Amino acid sequence: MRWTVKPKPEQESIDQLTETLGVDDLVAQLLIQRGITNYDEAKAFFRPELDHLHDPFLMKDMQKAVDRIEQAIAKGENILVYGDYDVDGTTSVALMSSFLMESYPNVATYIPDRYGEGYGISFQGIDFAVDNDMGLMIALDCGIKAIDQIKYAKEKGIDVIVCDHHRPGTELPDAVAVLDPKQEDCKYPYKELCGCGVGFKLIQGLSAKRGKTIDDILLYLDLVATAIAADIVPITGENRVLAYYGLMVINENPRRGIKALIDQTRKRELTITDVVFIIAPRINAAGRMKHGQHAVTLLTETDFAQAQQYASEIELFNTERRSLDQETTKEALVQIQENKEEEKFTSVVYSENWHKGVIGIVASRLTETYYRPTLVFTKSGDKLAASARSVKGFDIYNALEGCSDCLEQFGGHMYAAGLTLLEEQYEAFKKQFEKVVSETIDPKLLQPEISVDAKISMHQITPKLMRILKQFAPFGPGNMIPIFMAEGLKDTGYARGVGEEEKHLKCSLYQPGFDPIGGIGFNLGDKLDVVKGIKPFDAVFSLDENQWKGTVSLQLKLRDIR
């Protein structure tokens, strides 16, 4: 692990903020590191307001999209709401279809089959729209690169509205409206919305046209917060407001489908992290193991008993998914170990027997293990399909662009992407990908980094600090949970390994002269000798609360020790 301590801001800036806000130096430092330098910015950070959301009509083509939907409703046209099979796509479809169906019945939904159709708008999906006399198709979380498919839809007499957040290619699809804040000529102030976020801006625009306010669509934010968490988009600016209020809806008045999922986990109050690790994998499991339409059905169900039944089915898909991804990860790790002739900059593995639904999860696990830009391939029809995952600081989308002559199709983000290629191109692509990465990556990015916000002394860790830090939530990219470093620590003699094979570390740490604080280090069992040794040690950690038999106490959530 590389420990990188962020530069401390100028003392003058810290002093100004401490005086303005009445906080101590440490809190002021953490705020400045998050771009908060004055009272108004701090107020917006600690107290997000719905009126901080931008006017949806600032987004390019929003007026065209709203007008075309209103026209479809006025004419009684059939509307198809189309979205991808992952969490962002299925939540988007659930959001848009349930909003439209509140006042208009002629709405159907369509999720492409991961295995039969693949990612994005498919010709099969357009044929479905033709066969069912759809006049308008609203594509969510996909479509920005579907040039041929949207041309085909137009030839068949179907208008398409694209709501996407992926990077556009050099050519835009010939759609009635293209909503994507990442378009170069789109003046929308916030560029990092997820697909469901773009869909929410569209229903916000439709609501405004009908004389309604943001309060009338507040209950849709449980879906938006779920998509923000699952898609790992920055929780800054507008996303922070959407996630903040979406979490409130999740915890206070979630839709029946989300409540059914929460009830199965017996969790009381969910954080963004809980949404990432509890809600999102279950919604995703439908598209991975069976069909994404199951997730849409769950998320749009209004009868709780029926929602519980759907949630139970999805729980079975998730159990099957977990078993498959563990098995596939083991096989992929063996493949990497066997092929390690020389030190490589990338990990690329392939088996025609791997389940396409879990290769993204497996790619993430391999990246955690070997910390290299990683691709996991499997057979998909007459082609090979892969999921790509990157390491912090390296743009895997750009690397794939450098190999585009070997690819049939690709799309995604800086840290995650998907692609397909012809089987005969696999070896050439593998070599080219290794070459592109080796020539463009900074070698230090191949060592995992812990970014430390501040060095602190143990006496600074107080219940008051914890209360303030809890108000920094929701956490995520752009506003990660604060990480601290303390030096010269010792253990009270309590340290021991806990959990299966004692792979976790439980300890009680102190600096001479100060009271000890309990600590838990997941997967740090191998550091037990360091902690029990005679020499003092340093640790990086976040702050956490430990609840045990009704008592709440502060504890260190250890990230690394040396």
Look at residues 481, 483, 482, 477 and name the one whose alpha carbon lies nearest to residue 239.
477
> Which run of H or of E encompasses 93?
helix 87-101
Whether residue 197 lies inside any domain: the answer is: yes
For the chain, give the percent of residues with pLDDT over 70. 100
Residue 493 CB contacts under 8 Å (≥ 6 apart), including other chains:
none
Pairing of strands 409-412, 449-452: unpaired
Q: Do 337 and 301 share a structural domain?
A: no
Predicted pLDDT at 288 = 83
Q: Do 528 and 403 share a structural domain?
A: no
**Residue 392 to residue 371: CA distance in whole angstroms:** 9
For residue 19, pLDDT beyond 90: yes
Predicted pLDDT at 266 = 78
Residue 481 near residue 542, CB atoms below 8 Å = yes
**Residue 355 to residue 376: CA distance in whole angstroms:** 11
Please name the residue that has the structure tokens 């990188």.
4
Q: Do 296 and 150 share a structural domain?
A: yes
Whether residue 381 lies inside any domain: the answer is: yes
> Which run of H or of E encompasses 307?
helix 304-338
SS3 445: helix
pLDDT bracket for residue 505 (50, 70, 90): very high
pLDDT bracket for residue 45 (50, 70, 90): very high
Please name the residue that has the structure tokens 């439908």.
286
Chosen domain end from 315, 347, 374: 315
Chain segment 153-182, per-residue pLDDT in tens: 999 999 999 999 998 989 999 999 999 999
- Residue 231's φ and ψ, nearest 5 degrees, are -85, 0
- What one-letter code names the amino acid at 180? D
**Residue 226 to residue 233: CA distance in whole angstroms:** 11
Whether residue 227 lies inside any domain: the answer is: yes
Q: Do 267 and 134 share a structural domain?
A: yes
For residue 343, pLDDT beyond 80: no
Residue 114 near residue 312, CB atoms below 8 Å = no
DSSP 199-234: HHHHHHHHHHHTT--GGGGGGGHHHHHHHHHHTT--
Using alpha carbons, list the distances in angstroms from residue 458 to 98, 215, 399, 558. Answer: 51, 44, 43, 14
**Residue 169 to residue 209: CA distance in whole angstroms:** 31
Predicted pLDDT at 119 = 82
For residue 249, pLDDT beyond 90: yes
Q: Do 133 and 72 share a structural domain?
A: yes
Q: What's the CA dihedral at 507, 511, 515, 518 to 10 degrees?
A: -20
Instruction: Look up residue 6 and give its DSSP letter.
Output: P
Using a 10 angstrom Cβ sphere, with 0-12 exposed, 13-18 middle and 19 or more buried, the burial of residue 530 is middle
Q: Do 490 and 404 share a structural domain?
A: no
Using a 10 angstrom Cβ sphere, with 0-12 exposed, 13-18 middle and 19 or more buried, the burial of residue 311 is buried
Average pLDDT over residues 492-520: 93
pLDDT, averaged across the chain: 94
Residue 439 near residue 477, CB atoms below 8 Å = no
Q: Do 163 and 75 share a structural domain?
A: yes
Largest CA distance in the chain: 80
**549: CATH:** 2.40.50.460
Predicted pLDDT at 212 = 94
Chain segment 390-442, per-residue pLDDT in tens: 999 999 999 999 999 999 888 878 888 999 999 999 999 999 999 999 999 99
> Peptide bond before 181: cis, by omega within 30 degrees of 0?
no
Chain segment 89-135, per-residue pLDDT in tens: 999 999 999 999 999 999 999 999 888 888 899 999 999 999 999 99
For residue 9, pLDDT beyond 90: yes
Chosen domain end from 446, 468, 503: 446
Please name the residue that has the structure tokens 């309060």.
215
Chosen domain end from 294, 315, 336: 315
- Residue 458's φ and ψ, nearest 5 degrees, are -60, -30
**252: CATH:** 3.90.1640.30
Q: How far is CA 252 from the centre of its chain?
A: 22
Average pLDDT over residues 334-350: 85
Predicted pLDDT at 342 = 58
Residue 256 near residue 210, CB atoms below 8 Å = no
Q: Do 292 and 379 share a structural domain?
A: no
Average pLDDT over residues 479-502: 94
Pairing of strands 496-498, 551-561: unpaired
Please name the residue that has the structure tokens 């501040």.
454
For residue 534, pLDDT beyond 90: no
Predicted pLDDT at 381 = 86
DSSP 158-192: -EEEEE--SPP-SS----SEEE-TTSTT---S---
Q: How many domains does the chain have?
A: 3
DSSP bridge partners of 376: 349, 387
**Residue 118 to residue 409: CA distance in whole angstroms:** 11
Residue 130 near residue 152, CB atoms below 8 Å = no
Whether residue 18 lies inside any domain: the answer is: no
Look at residues 511, 514, 504 and name the one whose alpha carbon lies nearest to residue 539.
511
- Other CB atoms within 10 Å distance of the CB of residue 120: 24
Q: By residue range, what is the domain housing residue 524?
A: 2-6+450-561
Q: Do 392 and 306 share a structural domain?
A: no
For residue 218, pLDDT beyond 80: yes
Two tokens at 420?
């397909």
Q: Do 416 and 454 share a structural domain?
A: no
Residue 341 CB contacts under 8 Å (≥ 6 apart), including other chains:
none
Average pLDDT over residues 15-33: 96
- Residue 156's φ and ψ, nearest 5 degrees, are -90, 5
- Residues present in the chain in total: 562
Whether residue 38 lies inside any domain: the answer is: no
Q: Do 476 and 368 share a structural domain?
A: no
Two tokens at 342?
């020389």
Please name the residue that has the structure tokens 């835009």.
172
Whether residue 484 lies inside any domain: the answer is: yes
DSSP bridge partners of 349: 376
For the chain, give the percent of residues with pLDDT over 90. 87
Pairing of strands 374-380, 383-389: antiparallel
- Residue 151's φ and ψ, nearest 5 degrees, are -65, -40
- Other CB atoms within 10 Å distance of the CB of residue 201: 28
- What one-letter code names the amino acid at 2? R
Two tokens at 459?
């006496």
Whether residue 321 lies inside any domain: the answer is: no
Two tokens at 22?
């009445």
- Exposure string (b/e) for 125-139, b if CB count within 10 Å is 16 or more? bbebbeeeebbbbbb
SS3 494: coil
Predicted pLDDT at 274 = 93
Name the H helices within 253-303.
256-265, 272-274, 280-285, 293-300
Predicted pLDDT at 118 = 80
Whether residue 39 lies inside any domain: the answer is: no
Predicted pLDDT at 276 = 92
Using alpha carbons, list the distances in angstroms from residue 403 to 293, 377, 434, 443. Answer: 33, 16, 10, 20
